[in-house]
Amino acid sequence: MNKPKIFISYAHSDEEYKVNIEKQLSTLKRNNEIELWNDRMINAGKEWDKEIKKELLEADIILLLISADFLASDYCNDIEVRIALEKHELKQAIIIPIIIRACDWNAAPFGKIQALPKNAKPIKNWPDVDEAYLDVIRGIRNILFHKTQIEISSTHILHEFPTYPMVDAVDVPKNIIDNISKTIPINEAETWINEANRFRKKADPDDPKTTIIELHTLQSVYQLSSSDYWAKVIGQARLHGPRMLAALLLTVPDSGFTTSAKEDKDELLQRLKQYNL
């Protein structure tokens, strides 16, 4: 089993808390039980927005370091929290809010998710902050233990879908393509496509012939409408068989779908399980 990737989302004004969390996680990292990532690891010359989205989509566990500054950050909330919640709802990742300073976090979109430390008492308010950090790490360890019992990404689900043959274009309702194009703009498409590729690969990690969506074949994408672009992506997924198409459909968020589009998607996934059998 691949070691879980932990993404740390935080406001830069809370750097001190982020560093202390990383120190507490150092034993797990040294034992090769986890992989840690935060935005300070972006190399010079890289596009920071693209790197953050890429790492966030690959994350298995997402730590949100909550404070008033975090809640006030447009990027933390509009990008990182939004993507994190989409993955959480799709059961592709677990969100763990960590309350570091007192704030009105219960009203946030993640306000109903169980937080750390114990009783969601802010780390700053503990008489002994080391005890607070220890309580946080114990909570993370508990989640990691349960993760070994139930795979977060649920790649086993893909084994319900046959690898071949290719899926006929008439079997994919245009309604699905239109709704995906409205939910995911072209400038965010690459990150979700990469996640679908990763999801597909994890289902058959030892198969060197596993086929995936190839971004380099999608030429002049910015000259296409969003709908035409996603039609090309779906077209590639179809050619690679029911399992690849299912990986894409199970990866992209459908929170912006109409009711009929969600129904079409569910019906298509059921058909794909029995495709040409």
State the pLDDT at residue 145: 74
Mean pLDDT of 250-261: 88
Do 182 and 204 have their domain in common? Answer: yes
CA–CA separation, 215 vs 231, rounded Å? 13
Handedness of CA 179, 180, 181, 185 (dihedral sign): positive
- Asked whether the predicted pLDDT for residue 194 surpasses 60, the reply is yes
Determine the residue type at 81.
V
- Asked whether the predicted pLDDT for residue 72 surpasses 50, the reply is yes
Do 83 and 182 have their domain in common? Answer: no
Do 12 and 142 have their domain in common? Answer: yes
Domain limit, last residue, from 109, 124, 149: 149
State the pLDDT at residue 73: 97
Phi, psi of 98 (to 5 degrees): -120, 115
Mean pLDDT of 210-227: 70
Of all residues in the chain, the percent with pLDDT exceeding 90 is: 64
- Residue-range definition of the domain harbouring residue 89: 5-149
CA–CA separation, 31 vs 28, rounded Å? 5
State the pLDDT at residue 220: 57
Q: Number of structural domains, the chain? A: 2
> Residues with Cβ < 8 Å from 250, sequence gap 6 or more?
90, 157, 158, 199, 269
Domain limit, last residue, from 149, 177, 197: 149
The CA distances from residue 6 to 59, 79, 84, 188, in Å, are 6, 17, 12, 21
The CA distances from residue 252 to 111, 176, 180, in Å, are 23, 11, 8
Domain limit, last residue, from 149, 168, 194: 149
